Structure 1
């Protein structure tokens, strides 16, 4: 029986929970979660998550605000439908997580570093990019395929965006004498200021807003505004617009055309096409069961199903593929199915209200005492540009014959549309499935992203920009980040990486001060747990936020019911995977995927002899 409770960060935590979290921290620091047998490793990750929930959820929505986005009035349909702007997901706090609301933090607000010239520009982000990030030779991540890179960018276009940077008052980055950058000095546009922050309140911690919704709601397909959604909808049987070519229409207005915005490339448009087709197939299934449902009802139900399927694929397929340690694979499946497992869920449904036993979907909504939002630290650890290849070879799914050799600029921005219009999507997807992405490590940043020609004509070093952005947004440097997430800091450069050459290079860049090492540099340099394509430090944010995005969203918890989704809708989510989605719409991929357990792992290469 529990007798004592304490309030911590707005969440009531028991003394037992606090003790469990502290014990997990001690075991993690002395033994390491990844060195324990899987059952003990799972228990350890539960303990670490308990402690992170207690200490690493910090609310920015309570800070003074002006001119906040208007919240649409409550309406009966909000009970069973996602809104375009993300409002009314939480029925008691309808503005929670909506577009235009602030990013939260995983660190105390008092520990947000100031964004001034000294902290943002020193040491030079451009020099760190050149010395530590430049790809000297492609280092592949051989346990996964390039759909991993495409999927991540596809998800990010749903999760977060700070909005368009103003043209005036850029950060001015001095350049070394031997720097070949064509513009002197380098200019990096600033992240837009928070328009809801009261003017003149320099005493408040800096905050920024997410122009997207914070919810996992498929907005990269459906849009965030009424106008965006109106453009993609067909107006018939709930379906989205698809051209006769099998591709998606794009707005003629350059300001609304995603191909004209930085970040658009072949990978993201491929997946947007795949899941637009999936939405339409779900509409067919729902219409067959409920022929009386009008267009709006079919659309809204299919959106719920598609969004949940995306969340399931990310939880039980994408993430276990990129962090494929036996313990993390079991833990991530437990997030969705519980430790009772998928088979028990299929046979008996939920057998417990406890998320550990029966998974998060269908359970209780829980914000853990802090209003839900994505966080700036979540944004920072997803800066994984090394996943992108520079060279691409597109090949036939029928016989693996080369169709086109090209480089990343040929498949980015408006040029991606030329490739989409000349090579069948089956062959493009096959090529992504059989090509490895880059490993997220030092000296493996795509060279074309270090000289990225944006659709607006500007030149950008994304390696330098990534480093600058984390500093600008007040994300702590590597060692301080680890301390705040209950990890031991690196004692010195050799302890950081274990690679003597890298240790010397990093020390030289940071003047011998281990405390100055940037978060992304430290994460790229550190030793990786077994099966990991990215760092254990980044994984700490995932331990906390991967489950939180499900726990807080009522459409994944208590509203994950037949009354809201329909029983055929829930069955669709249960019965489908990335492989089934791909082969349903592109049957020519079936042979390459036949022996693959996870569609984000390398596919079988087809030859003439295999036909």
Structure 2
């Protein structure tokens, strides 16, 4: 093994290595494999998930920043402001390693680096090729709804993804050429799928067996970069320069940049749901500025902006942790576990009365606790990206209705509300009506045969036609994400021994077996995830959940603005109170009070809202 691979994973010094913890993690893994955490009573399930998280932290965090590199992004020189402000590019979050997690740095991995397969054509385009998988297993005939949640979950997820990760703009040269079946109606032969951008920091002199790496053009931190911009120029354009506020889409929208790649409406994936979330939390930022200005009238534009950004980013993280995720995985054990990530097992009421009552994240939650990278420099991972490929959440058909009486305003398709067309809906339709429509329409279940038709024939802003389902399959292969069974082995889960064990639907099992020529080891990760039998209350698979167990808490644990610097001295006392006192429900009602009846009695804005039609009857 080459020297760099020995350094691929720095073991967390002393982290949960004592005999009691070895017993707990070993027992958790044994019980999970024999029974399943989701079949246990809540308390036993929580203890099992705790043990699994510790084992995942020990065994499934691998850094790539130590691999040979050139032309790395250079952080700005350290300054006093870095102590208390988030930077535009994510640098200086870790004051000792200012480059850690900044935009332009590499993705990490949740698998050993020596297991990463090279992006060879024979692997990326192997039978069944990505287009065959898309057509045979992913195409939606009719929506399979996720009835326990509403379509805001789809809008929210893409809103979060815009903050978390992007491989950047693909080069147009040397596309992957996917052969097509004779009956395939695709207009271009062969189908061309652009490659993921190469790592510009990769050292050409590195040994040939150096694992493949890619960079995240976004900051790896959970810092609301989708609202505040990824560099100083973007942020300057977004700000009004008065009282810390941001420009809004409607009355103060900044001019469209001359560079089309910087026009948000022309970036692939822009649609009405994303625009609505962007608009809502831009307004929330401005409301926070007003709140802070009243509390601290001497603060100028810069101070108000920086404190409001911290508060807004933390509120987004809180909503995702204790509302969005428990809504989409609403098993009683996971709901309790996710709330404990934020408030600890002591609970929200104890937190509001006494604050942190223990140094333990288990008792008092992660925010305000100790910063911990678990011995591996923080970065989001390629496996995290892979399991967040959840396009089936998005509907093809949308019925926009009035919040006042549920009357139909317009029937439209995903195509109608995508790209620049999305802003027309913001300009011509009341925001409360749009939000009500999303809140009362179910999204799709993350499962086979439920991929949005529009996204299988998606015309990009540059005119290139793209099958996003095929692209999702190809991208995981290209980036060395393991196939389904190997992925489970590397997470210490039992691999599927048969296709009937892999897929909960016998008809699906037969389709998968036929498509993959009876070789279960070739089944793509996304296919396996979508085919699994879901735990009670889950809108996505248990295998994907294992990455969430690890990475959902890591994003909080590693960020000093959620841990050691999550204090009134940094956020302000009024800012901390805003985070504690607000939720997605209160945010919606603050800006759109017409939603009050639809949200009455709900504590989670991502579950189905009350219909105005039902209220009148």
Match of 2:159 in 1: 154
Inter-partner Cα distance in structure 2 for 1:230 and 1:245: 18
Match of 1:44 among 34, 44, 48: 48
3-state secondary structure, aligned to 2:560: coil
Aligned CA distance change for structure 1 residues 243 and 495 (closer, same or farther; 3 Å):
closer
3-state secondary structure, aligned to 1:304: helix
1:144 aligned onto 2:145: no
Q: How many residue pairs align between the two structures?
A: 605
Q: How far has the Cα of 1:137 moved from its partner?
A: 1.6
Match of 1:399 among 405, 409, 423: 405
1:492-513 per-position Cα deviation (integer Å, ceiling 9, x unaligned): 1000013211011001111100
1:194 aligned onto 2:195: no
Q: Quick check: 2:447–2:531 contact (8 Å CA) kept in 1?
A: yes
1:10 aligned onto 2:14: no
Map residues 503-582 of structure 1 onto 2, 5 A cutoff: 503-582=509-588
Q: Quick check: 1:286–1:568 contact (8 Å CA) kept in 2?
A: yes
Inter-partner Cα distance in structure 1 for 2:397 and 2:254: 26
Aligned CA distance change for structure 1 residues 430 and 333 (closer, same or farther; 3 Å):
same
1:112-166 per-position Cα deviation (integer Å, ceiling 9, x unaligned): 0110101101121000100000002210000000000000000000000000000
Match of 1:277 in 2: 283
Match of 2:292 among 279, 286, 289: 286
Q: How far has the Cα of 1:425 moved from its partner?
A: 0.8
Q: Quick check: 1:338–1:357 contact (8 Å CA) kept in 2?
A: yes
Segment drifting more, 56-65 vs 242-251: 242-251
Match of 1:94 in 2: 98
Match of 1:418 in 2: 424
Q: How far has the Cα of 1:579 moved from its partner?
A: 0.5
Match of 2:35 in 1: 31
Map residues 382-461 of structure 1 onto 2, 5 A cutoff: 382-461=388-467
Match of 1:349 in 2: 355
Q: Quick check: 1:241–1:249 contact (8 Å CA) kept in 2?
A: no
1:59 aligned onto 2:63: yes
Match of 2:319 in 1: 313
1:193-251 per-position Cα deviation (integer Å, ceiling 9, x unaligned): 00000115322100000000000000000001111101110000000012554877654
Q: Quick check: 1:162–1:208 contact (8 Å CA) kept in 2?
A: yes
Match of 1:606 among 595, 608, 612: 612
Segment drifting more, 415-424 vs 327-336: 415-424
Match of 1:259 in 2: 265
1:255-293 per-position Cα deviation (integer Å, ceiling 9, x unaligned): 310111101110011001000000000000101111111
3-state secondary structure, aligned to 2:219: coil
Match of 1:21 among 16, 20, 25: 25
Q: How far has the Cα of 1:69 moved from its partner?
A: 0.6
Match of 2:470 among 456, 464, 487: 464
Q: How far has the Cα of 1:15 moved from its partner?
A: 3.7
Q: How far has the Cα of 1:609 moved from its partner?
A: 5.9
> TM-score normalized by structure 1?
0.97
Inter-partner Cα distance in structure 2 for 1:244 and 1:112: 46
Map residues 126-141 of structure 1 onto 2, 5 A cutoff: 126-141=131-146
3-state secondary structure, aligned to 1:50: helix
Inter-partner Cα distance in structure 1 for 2:71 and 2:550: 31
Match of 1:78 in 2: 82
Q: Quick check: 2:166–2:216 contact (8 Å CA) kept in 1?
A: yes
Q: Quick check: 1:596–1:604 contact (8 Å CA) kept in 2?
A: no
Q: How far has the Cα of 1:18 moved from its partner?
A: 3.0
Q: Quick check: 1:414–1:455 contact (8 Å CA) kept in 2?
A: no
Inter-partner Cα distance in structure 2 for 1:401 and 1:68: 55
Match of 2:307 among 301, 322, 325: 301
Inter-partner Cα distance in structure 2 for 1:169 and 1:246: 42
Match of 2:3 in 1: none
Q: How far has the Cα of 1:607 moved from its partner?
A: 2.6
Q: Quick check: 2:331–2:535 contact (8 Å CA) kept in 1?
A: yes
Inter-partner Cα distance in structure 1 for 2:436 and 2:249: 22
1:490 aligned onto 2:490: no
Match of 1:170 in 2: 175
Match of 1:501 in 2: 507
Q: Quick check: 2:448–2:530 contact (8 Å CA) kept in 1?
A: yes
Inter-partner Cα distance in structure 1 for 2:27 and 2:323: 30
3-state secondary structure, aligned to 2:543: helix
Inter-partner Cα distance in structure 1 for 2:615 and 2:485: 53
Q: Quick check: 2:389–2:472 contact (8 Å CA) kept in 1?
A: yes
Q: Quick check: 2:106–2:213 contact (8 Å CA) kept in 1?
A: yes
3-state secondary structure, aligned to 1:99: coil
Map residues 581-596 of structure 1 onto 2, 5 A cutoff: 581-596=587-602
3-state secondary structure, aligned to 1:404: strand
Aligned CA distance change for structure 1 residues 10 and 445 (closer, same or farther; 3 Å):
same
Match of 1:242 among 233, 237, 248: 248
Q: Quick check: 1:595–1:604 contact (8 Å CA) kept in 2?
A: no
Q: Quick check: 2:459–2:465 contact (8 Å CA) kept in 1?
A: yes
Match of 1:337 in 2: 343
Q: Quick check: 2:347–2:364 contact (8 Å CA) kept in 1?
A: yes
Inter-partner Cα distance in structure 1 for 2:100 and 2:9: 20
Q: Quick check: 2:247–2:253 contact (8 Å CA) kept in 1?
A: no
3-state secondary structure, aligned to 1:394: strand
Inter-partner Cα distance in structure 1 for 2:438 and 2:522: 37
Inter-partner Cα distance in structure 1 for 2:596 and 2:478: 46
3-state secondary structure, aligned to 2:475: helix
Q: Quick check: 1:266–1:412 contact (8 Å CA) kept in 2?
A: yes
Q: How far has the Cα of 1:8 moved from its partner?
A: 7.4
Q: Quick check: 2:237–2:254 contact (8 Å CA) kept in 1?
A: no
Inter-partner Cα distance in structure 2 for 1:596 and 1:104: 38
Inter-partner Cα distance in structure 2 for 1:375 and 1:550: 15
